[in-house]
Amino acid sequence: MKTLTKGNLEDYIVGATILSCGGGGTAEVGRAIVKDAFEKGFEFKLADIDELPDEAFLCILGRVGGGVPKEVLDRAAPYFEKLKGRKDETLRGLQTASKKLADFIGKEFHSYIATETGPVNGILAMYMAASEGKPCVDGDCCGRAKPEIAISLTNVAGMPITPLAIVTPFGETLILESAVDDHRAEDLSRHAAIASGGWVYVARCPAKVEAYKKGMVPGQVTKCIEVGEAIRIAREKGEDLAAAFMAKTNAEKLFEGTVSSHNIEGRGGFNWGEWQIEGSGEFQGHSFRVWFKNEHLISWLDGEPCAVCPDLICTVDVNTGEGPSNFVKSGEHNGKNIAVFRLKAHEAWRTKKGLELFGPAHFGYNIEYK
């Protein structure tokens, strides 16, 4: 078990901005959570899954949500107004969700595991564990970020998603005792997020450690820290930041160029949109397009399908070394110099069930995964 420093968590956030494929929240929010944790004196002890007792219980803990239209935000605005001046809303939301689920199943959680890689959703489970003096799990249940809670390695492993606890930003609570399948659980949770201005806290998939060993990517926290560290060192030395990422991960470089447009539409609790990148250097005269639903999922090089989910489509700002987020306003990344990489998805995603859940066809694209 290793105690993480504030620097380790900053490295995690930088690495996670890239390996989350544009999703998982923003680095700014993640940094604010880490700052709050250290001001409160929380200690982050990172444990390998094999260091935890097999019979102990874990649950997935994080936020669910994304973009919503202005009229939805307007309806929620009076409720958000009442939250002004209240402190620790994030911690209270996590605490309430985990306690409601623990009380419902009659078991105390030994720790919490992240739903995905991300500068926010990857941090929240560790933040909650640290607040209770519990070990943080070195891993998450995806190995990247994904747009729907049904897209989870726990689903691939056949682990029940329910019972499930939902807590709105305003403190309202719901328990979903059962669902027809993980997709129904996703729909019900997402609609709660839409009704709450775009997001809710969710604690789900209560199960023993031995079950989670088949439904997660171990070592993912450490991997993000190592990626962030490599970029930080390259930045300090004035070296090529995108090259540092490629060297650390053996990622395949697909493209490099300037963002001509980055369009986002908040709808249905997701951020939908596309990147258009015009090539530079060795890619001069070529173009690259990425379609996202919160996260980068499908890409095309000169109009021909290129990298697709579940593989990781990673974008790196060559000037900062961080991964630009899709949780921003349209056009915010226009003009930035971006390198695009592909990393192979975790092996469980490349199984028949994994591809049914997270392949291009799930998002309506008739493209073969290779």
82 within a domain of the structure (yes/no): yes
Tally of structural domains, the chain: 2
The average confidence (pLDDT) of the chain is 97
Q: How far is CA 265 from CA 49, 326, 331, in A?
A: 38, 10, 11
Mark whether 245 and 214 lie in a shared domain.
Answer: no
Calculate mean pLDDT across residues 79-101: 90
Check residue 351 and give its pLDDT: 97
270 within a domain of the structure (yes/no): yes
Q: What is the pLDDT of residues 17-30, one digit of tens each?
A: 999 999 999 999 99
Q: What is the DSSP letter of 114?
A: B
Q: Quick one: which H or E segment has residue 199?
A: strand 199-208
Contact between 89 and 83 (Cβ < 8 Å)? yes
Structural domain ending residue among the three candidates 187, 218, 249: 218
Check residue 83 and give its pLDDT: 84
Residues 110, 91: Cα–Cα separation, whole Å: 17
Check residue 297 and give its pLDDT: 98
- The packing angle between helices 6-19 and 27-39, to 10°, is 160
Q: Which residue reads 């305003």 in tokens? A: 170
Residue of 46, 36, 139, 24 whose CA lies nearest to 92 = 36
Mark whether 195 and 276 lie in a shared domain.
Answer: no
Enumerate the β-bridge partners of residue 340: 255, 315
6 within a domain of the structure (yes/no): yes
233 within a domain of the structure (yes/no): no
Q: How far is CA 99 from CA 111, 162, 223, 284, in A?
A: 12, 15, 30, 55
Domain boundaries, position 339: 241-363
Q: What is the pLDDT of residues 159-177, one digit of tens each?
A: 999 999 999 999 999 999 9
Residues 287, 260: Cα–Cα separation, whole Å: 10
Mark whether 144 and 263 lie in a shared domain.
Answer: no
Check residue 86 and give its pLDDT: 74
Residues 38, 110: Cα–Cα separation, whole Å: 22
Q: What is the pLDDT of residues 223-274, one digit of tens each?
A: 999 999 999 999 999 999 999 999 999 999 999 999 999 999 999 999 999 9
Residues 324, 316: Cα–Cα separation, whole Å: 7
